[in-house]
Structures are given as C-alpha cells and as structure tokens.
A and B are shown apart, each in its own frame.
Chain A
Amino acid sequence: MPSRKAAFSGRDQLMAKLVLSPTILAATFFIYGFILWTIWLSLTRSTILPSNHFVGLANYYDLFGSSRWWRSLSNLGIFGGLYVLISVGIGLGLAILLDQRVKAERLYQVVFLYPMALSAVVTGVAWRWLLDPGFGIQAIVRSMGFPHFAFAWIDNPDMAIYTVVIAAVWQTTGFMMAIFLAGLRGVSPEIVKAAQIDGASTGRIYLRVILPSLAPTFFVALVLSVGLAIKSFGLIIALTGGGPGYSTNVPSIFMYVFSFQRGEMGVGAASALMMLVIMMIFVLPFLLLDSRRQA
C-alpha cells in the first residue's frame, strides 16, 4: 500500500524536523542571536545594566584607548605565539619518538596526556606552587648548591606571562602529541619504504616525505592550539590572577573584569567581539584551506 507508506514516511520526516528543531532554535538564538546582541551591547552605554542608549563606537574608543587592553593583546600575542610554537613543536617531537616502536609506548602516552584531563584551575594551582620562588623550582635549585640561582618570573611583571606559557605547554602538549601520533600512524608505509629503497636517511625521510604528508595534521594542531590560547582563562586566573598588577591580563580576563567586576558592560562587550574577531582571523583561513584540501 504505497499511499500508507508515503503517509508514514511523511510523518517520520516531520518527526525528524521536530527532533532537530530545538537545537536549530537554540543555535540560532544562543549562538547567532547572542553574537548580534553582544555587538549591539558594544554600541550602547551599558554599564552595570544593559542599556539601549546608542553611543556608536565610543566603547571601542575606550577599549583601544586603554593601556590595559593593549597589554592584554600583546600578552596574548606573546603567550599565544610561544605556546603554539612550543606545544606543537614538542608534541610533534614526542610523537616522532613514540613512533619508533618504543616499549611501554602506551604508558608514555598516558603520562604525556593526563594533564589534559585536569581542570585549567588545578593546573594553575599546581604551577603556582612549583613557580613560587620561596618553595618551588628556585628553592630546589638553590638547595642543590646554587644559592644565587634566580627564577622568580611569577612575581615579575615583565616575566610573569612566560610562566603562563610553561603551565599551558605542560597541560596540552600531550594533546598535540596525540594528534601528531594519529597523523604519523596514517602515513602510508609504501611511500616510506620507497624512500628507504632509494637510500634516503631517516632524517631525510622525515623531512622530505613524512612531515609534508602531515600537512593536514599541522592544520588541525595549529587551529586547536590557537583556539586554546585565545580561550585560556581559568589557567591564568588560578596561576597569576592576571597579575602582578595586570601584567598577565589577556583579552579573556579583560572581558571578565570589565563586564562582571567593573560594571563596564559596553567595553566588555566590545572586548568580547574583538576576541571573536581574533579567533576568526586565525582560525577561519585554516578551516577554509583545510576544506579546500579535502574537497
């Protein structure tokens, strides 16, 4: 009975739409709607409470007139740049080493990756302890017979941002390692064998054959690590509290402080939008390139 079946299938199609519609509505409202809403807020004189008093770009003038915002941006540049380079670099290195038919490979992986299961706040607390000049690494090295050894970056406004790099690298390098290891395991053995038969050295094979074939993996690792850098918040709050002073403020902390502590919602909204713009600038080209490669 084709007519009955058609009726059934029509009902099922309707059901499918009904099932997906809450998510469609939620995504439209809570993602796209909220982005537009935040843009609107950034153009208003919203302080502790939202206001619809339009002020044009005044909040953006305030934002880019603020030395604290510029410090946040430059910190993100320093922290993000170093963090991405180091975590991707070490992650790749560890993946290559683990790919050498290492005994206890699984154990090494578990150890390299466990920080990823920890909260950023826990990571921050642990490193704050290790980096404390009176107790941590400085004290250890001094007690080993180097009484003048100095490593007090966490108390130094010029150096504190580098402690954030250390803790962030510690937390996510294993993640990068896992991504590269998955990539390495996907390299076809034939092309490697062919290169070996040609008499290429191991180093050469890596440089000329294996790493180029990992280009998509590099994309993924870069996109993810850039995203992690821009979103970093709990780690820095727990490690340095954004200080000393505001020397380790980044845009995520700036946004939080201005929106929820200082009652400057308009400026906070403007900084949130800038975070989205930064993310899009760094992530979209990669994603577009990547989808073109796959197509």
Chain B
Amino acid sequence: MRISSAFSPGRWLIYGVLTLAALFFLLPFYVMLVTAFKTMPEVYSTGILALPDSLNFSAWIHAWSAATIGAASEGIHGYFLNSFILVIPAVIISTAIGAFNGYVLTHWRFRGSNIFFYMLLLGTIIPFQIVLLPMAWVQGRIGIAGTLVPGLMMVHVIYGLAFTTLFFRNYYVGIPHDLIKAARVDGAGFFSIFFRIMLPVSTPIIMVTAIWQFTMIWNNFLFGVVFTQGGQQPVTVAINDLVDTVTSVHMWNVDMAAAIFAALPTLLVYLIAGKYFVRGLTAGAVKG
C-alpha cells in the first residue's frame, strides 16, 4: 500500500522521519568510533560528537594487547581468539545435528517424532536461567567446569539445537517427499539420500542457520559469564570486565575500541550476508 509517489510534502516527511531514525540508530556507533580514535586528553577536551584531531590508534592497540582484564594486562586479543575457538566448533556441530534432525523430522517421521518436535520447541522460549544451576553442577561432576572447550561449547551446542532443528525442519518440509520416495525405490538409503538430495539444495538454510548460530553464540553473555572463568572467557565477558575494572582514570577510548573489536565479526557477517541474517531472524520468529 503506497502513498502517491510524486515528491509531495508527504514524501519529504517520510524521508525526513526515516533519516532521523537512521541518525538515531547510527549515533551510538559513530560516537564509539570517534571516541576510539581519540587520546584521553582529547576525550576530555572535545565533545563526544567531535571528530578526532587525527586518527590515533593508541586506544586500539592498548585495547587489543595491553588493557587490564581480570588479573592480566594483555588486552582482549586472547578473549577475542577464545570466542572464535568457541564459536567455530559450536556452529559446525549444532548446524550439522540440526540438519540431520530436520531431515528425520520431515522425511523419516516415526511415531512420536512430531510430538518430540513440539517438545523441543520449548527450548526456543525458555529463559536459560532455568537450566544454569543443574548445568553448572553437571559440568563440575564431569570435570569440564569453567572450560571454554568443551564446557561452554557443549552448553551452546545443546541449547542451540532447538533453533537449528527448527530452521532445517521448516526448510526441508518444503522439499517434495516424492523425491525421497523415488530415491528409495532406486535403492538409496538414509544417508545417501541426505548427502545426494538434501544437502545439495541446503546452501541457503545452512547459511541462515550458521549465521544465526554464529551471531547468537558470539554475542552471548549469560552462558559465558556463568560457565567460564579467567583466561577461558569469551570476548563479551572480557569486554564487560574491562569496562568494569576500576582504574584511577576511566579510559573511555579504550573501552570503545575494545567494544568495536568485539562487535566487528558479527557486524561484518551482517554487512556481507545480511540477507541470511534477516531471514534467520524472521524464520526464528515464524514457527513451523
């Protein structure tokens, strides 16, 4: 439904409001960016909106390799790496299991499989606080408490399964069952049908699921702060520690540079493959 497309005052109003909204959304990132390029004296002497006198990288370097987090003063680079060490296997494992689950739930249904699917959906709704205490106990018992891998990774895989299964299930339900039937008549089995028929058409949903999981796990704070300690922490937890660390002078420029470092991977994925990210958001929204 559209209002007339000539450049009437109404059109100008539309663009005016949209542009104001865009400025509101850009403002925090702009402020972070200019602050990260300032020296602390500049932060004090110039306004928060002012551009830096020159592109000064000292805050970036300090945030990356020297800022104090917890007991160490080695910057966030180790935690940044931690997040990758965590995210890569967690994304691959949860996406792969989700793909097989979706395949079974659509083309190899058995008695109770649908009921199970609806049971699993609860995992997309619950506040995860409800599982933290038992999980902490279990991890302690099996001796992986406080570890990034396998401890925290395991948590992300388990609680990502409901989402990845939902994504693949909703995608595979659209693939004609006759294709599978025909392949079975030709003698193809469970796995060969998956690898030869399902997987070749799965690129879009693999992208959607992997990007969704990457963003969710990279950005997660709750599991990271509960299940890891010290040098095992992911970058979101480290950022919060850094910002919280009370030093004689609060180094806003370093805080901002560190936060941008932490934001960069998911932001890049969003800018490069935003289409899939949006599809994941709305697919996660519309249930099967």
Contact B190 A206 (CB under 8 A): no
The smallest C-beta distance from B35 to any residue of chain A, in angstroms, reads 7
Contact B28 A126 (CB under 8 A): yes
Q: Of A116, A129, A187, which is within 8 A of B35 by CB?
A: A129
Contact A170 B28 (CB under 8 A): yes
Contact A279 B25 (CB under 8 A): no
The smallest C-beta distance from A79 to any residue of chain B, in angstroms, reads 15
Which of chain A's residues 157-180 have a Cβ closer than 8 Å to chain B?
A: 170, 174-175, 178-179
- The answer to whether residues A119 and B266 also contact, given A38-B131, A114-B25 and a CB cut-off of 8 A, is yes
Q: Of A118, A127, A139, A224, which is within 8 A of B47 by CB?
A: A139
Contact A20 B131 (CB under 8 A): no
Interface size range on A against B: 35 or more
- The answer to whether residues A117 and B137 also contact, given A27-B119, A170-B28 and a CB cut-off of 8 A, is no
Contact B25 A98 (CB under 8 A): no
Complex interface: chain B residues within 8 A of A241 (CB)? 244
Contact A283 B125 (CB under 8 A): yes
Contact B110 A275 (CB under 8 A): no
B26 on interface, CB distance cutoff 8 Å = yes
- The answer to whether residues A178 and B282 also contact, given A12-B108, A110-B271, A122-B263 and a CB cut-off of 8 A, is yes
CA distance A227 to B122 in the complex (A): 12
B97 on interface, CB distance cutoff 8 Å = yes
Complex interface: chain B residues within 8 A of A184 (CB)? 1
B267 on interface, CB distance cutoff 8 Å = yes
Which of chain B's residues 153-195 have a Cβ closer than 8 Å to chain A?
A: 158-159, 161-162, 165, 184, 187, 189-191
Complex interface: chain A residues within 8 A of B266 (CB)? 117-119
CA distance A94 to B14 in the complex (A): 9
Which of chain B's residues 129-159 have a Cβ closer than 8 Å to chain A?
A: 129-137, 158-159
Contact A101 B2 (CB under 8 A): yes
B81 on interface, CB distance cutoff 8 Å = no
Q: Of B101, B162, B226, B281, which is within 8 A of A116 by CB?
A: B281
CA distance A128 to B21 in the complex (A): 20
Complex interface: chain A residues within 8 A of B1 (CB)? 99, 184, 187, 192, 202, 205-206, 210
Contact A23 B271 (CB under 8 A): no
CA distance A8 to B192 in the complex (A): 13
A17 on interface, CB distance cutoff 8 Å = yes
At the interface, is chain B mostly helix, strand, loop or mixed? Answer: helix
Complex interface: chain B residues within 8 A of A187 (CB)? 1
CA distance A9 to B116 in the complex (A): 22
- The answer to whether residues A98 and B24 also contact, given A17-B110, A238-B240, A255-B129 and a CB cut-off of 8 A, is no
Q: Of B11, B15, B31, B128, which is within 8 A of A129 by CB?
A: B31
Contact B281 A178 (CB under 8 A): yes
- The answer to whether residues A102 and B25 also contact, given A20-B105, A114-B270 and a CB cut-off of 8 A, is no
Complex interface: chain B residues within 8 A of A295 (CB)? none
Contact B47 A143 (CB under 8 A): yes
CA distance A136 to B47 in the complex (A): 8
CA distance A220 to B282 in the complex (A): 9
- The answer to whether residues A35 and B104 also contact, given A12-B190, A94-B21, A234-B236 and a CB cut-off of 8 A, is no
Complex interface: chain A residues within 8 A of B220 (CB)? 119, 234
Complex interface: chain A residues within 8 A of B43 (CB)? 135
Binds A, one of B64-72, B196-204, B251-259: B251-259
Complex interface: chain A residues within 8 A of B32 (CB)? 125-126, 129
Contact A99 B133 (CB under 8 A): no
Contact A117 B269 (CB under 8 A): yes
Which of chain A's residues 64-101 have a Cβ closer than 8 Å to chain B?
A: 90, 94, 97-101
Contact with A along B261-288 (1 / 0, CB 8 A): 0110011011100100110011001110
Listed by A's residue number, 13 A-B pairs whose Cβ atoms lie within 8 Å are A11-B189, A16-B104, A34-B134, A50-B137, A111-B26, A114-B29, A121-B219, A179-B285, A237-B225, A260-B226, A273-B130, A275-B129, A275-B130
Q: A41-B134, A140-B47 are in contact. List 16 more A-B contacts (CB 8 A).
A: A15-B191, A16-B108, A27-B161, A34-B130, A35-B130, A50-B137, A129-B48, A130-B27, A135-B43, A135-B48, A140-B48, A174-B25, A205-B1, A234-B220, A256-B225, A272-B130
A-to-B contact residues, CB < 8 Å: 8-9, 11-13, 15-17, 19-20, 22-24, 26-27, 30-35, 37-38, 41, 50, 90, 94, 97-102, 108-123, 125-130, 135-136, 139-140, 143, 170, 174-175, 178-179, 182, 184, 187, 192, 202, 205-206, 210, 220, 224, 227, 230-231, 233-234, 237-238, 241, 251-252, 255-256, 259-260, 265, 268-269, 271-273, 275-276, 279, 283, 287, 290
B-to-A contact residues, CB < 8 Å: 1-3, 5, 11, 14-15, 17-18, 21-22, 24-29, 31-32, 35, 43, 47-49, 97, 100-101, 103-105, 108, 110, 113, 116, 119-120, 122-123, 125-137, 158-159, 161-162, 165, 184, 187, 189-191, 215, 218-222, 225-226, 236-237, 239-240, 243-244, 252, 255-256, 259-260, 262-263, 266-267, 269-271, 274, 277-278, 281-282, 285-287
